[in-house]
Amino acid sequence: QKEVEQDPGPLSVPEGAIVSLNCTYSNSAFQYFMWYRQYSRKGPELLMYTYSSGNKEDGRFTAQVDKSSKYISLFIRDSQPSDSATYLCAMSSSWGKLQFGAGTQVVVTP
């Protein structure tokens, strides 16, 4: 079983909708949680970074971590066609290697 599970999608939503992405994990030592966005034929870029449990908001993006359920989420409000990309979750313990989910492809249709 993989340490980090992520639904590969694709997830297709109309412009303006809320995009909801999530990952589950098995390692209770994970404390650092990240979301990367990867456009087609590009490298991943850091979108959100959260330490431990709780919510973090940055513009249209909200990251949530529920350590008790070993579940993290990313919400994109008022989605735009430019949000069409693959979203990768990643997480680690202190000093540990970063573990990535397989990525969810999101398509926002005008």
Kindly list the residues in this chain that would bind another protein in the complex (CB under 8 A): 6, 8, 31-32, 34, 36, 41-46, 49, 51, 88, 92, 94-95, 97-98, 100-103
* Shortest Å distance, C-beta 17 to another protein: 25
What's the Rg (C-alpha) of the chain? 13
| Nearest residue (CB) to another protein, 32 versus 75 | 32
Rounded to a whole number of angstroms, the minimum distance from the CB of residue 62 to another protein is: 19
Report in angstroms how near the CB of residue 16 gets to another protein at its nearest.
Answer: 29
| 6 vs 84, beta carbon nearer another protein | 6
Considering the complex, state which of residue 84 and residue 103 has its C-beta at the smaller distance from another protein: 103
Token pair 């979301």 is found at 35
Quick one: 82 or 94, whose CB is closer to another protein?
A: 94
Q: Which long-range contacts (CB under 8 A, 24 or more apart) does 65-73 make?
A: 65/33, 67/28, 67/30, 70/24, 70/25, 70/26, 70/28, 71/22, 71/23, 71/24, 71/25, 72/22, 72/23, 72/25, 72/33, 73/20, 73/21, 73/22, 73/23
